[in-house]
Structure 1
Amino acid sequence: MSRTLLIGLVGVCAAALLAVGSIAAPHEDGWHEEKSAYEMAREAVARGEALPLHDVRRRLQSVAPGKIVATHYEFEFERWVYEFKIVDRAGRLQKIHLDAKTGELVMQSDY
């Protein structure tokens, strides 16, 4: 088998694996069809499993004051978290993870 053909096959296999990964997403009680982060957060708030974003943003400002430049809702650290990217008062970009259910700080790091 030629090297070019082998590289092409590896590329096709890698693309197929990436495509499969986008069909389903991990969930604390198994796998589910992919939904937008907005939909998952909204449903979790309605079920009482997550705090509303405005409450978590208030908590964020007490933990790490700064300008919010990005917000994500995702499953990390074996729990659902709100991830914020902020520019702090010193001008540094920070990544902050707050527990979606409690608002507690999970992780804070320079980005």
Structure 2
Amino acid sequence: MSAISSRSPRLSAILLAAALSCAMAPALARDDRCRRDQDCAREALVHGEIRPLSDVLGVVRDKVPGDIIEIELDREDGIWVYEVKVLPPSGRRKKLEIDARTLEILKIK
């Protein structure tokens, strides 16, 4: 009986460590992906493939006045595209797709 009770704390500690490492794995993977996305965006900016966010915000504010509530940078069919969601005074959300290199507005939904 004493052999079982002396192993139980060790076994419990091992199981706890395994459970914690499994629980943390998605958070760590998500953090690594975010770093890679940030690195890709920085590299695209340095190489002139995209324009700075400040330039994009100016275009959006000129076209659709309101509060900018979300911005994404995606690569679609080999083209970098900013997707910007704006909440105008009317309260009806607008989504703009903007070519990240030329700042041409591709779509307004």
Regarding TM over 0.5, the answer is: yes
- Partner Cα separation in structure 2 for residue 34 and residue 98 of structure 1: 22
Work out which of the two has the higher radius of gyration on C-alpha atoms and give 1 or 2.
2
Task: Specify the code of the residue in structure 1 equivalent to 2:72.
Answer: H
- Partner Cα separation in structure 2 for residue 47 and residue 71 of structure 1: 21
Higher strand share: 1
Aligned to 1:28: none
- The count of aligned residue pairs is 77
Task: Specify the code of the residue in structure 1 equivalent to 2:84.
Answer: F
Aligned to 1:90: 90
- Partner Cα separation in structure 2 for residue 39 and residue 89 of structure 1: 35
Relative to structure 1, is the Cα distance of residues 34 and 71 closer, same or farther in structure 2, using a 3 angstrom cutoff? closer
Relative to structure 1, is the Cα distance of residues 77 and 87 closer, same or farther in structure 2, using a 3 angstrom cutoff? farther
Q: CA deviation at 1:40?
A: 2.1
Relative to structure 1, is the Cα distance of residues 37 and 86 closer, same or farther in structure 2, using a 3 angstrom cutoff? farther
- Partner Cα separation in structure 2 for residue 42 and residue 63 of structure 1: 26
1:20-35 to 2 correspondences below 5 Å: none
Query: SS where residue 48 of structure 2 aligns?
Result: coil
1:63-102 to 2 correspondences below 5 Å: 63-76=63-76, 78-102=78-102
Higher helix share: 2
Q: CA deviation at 1:55?
A: 0.7
Does the CA-based 8 Å contact 1:37-1:74 persist in structure 2? no
Does the CA-based 8 Å contact 2:71-2:83 persist in structure 1? yes
Does the CA-based 8 Å contact 2:85-2:93 persist in structure 1? yes
- Partner Cα separation in structure 1 for residue 47 and residue 88 of structure 2: 33
Aligned to 1:26: none
Q: How does the TM-score come out when normalised to structure 2? A: 0.62
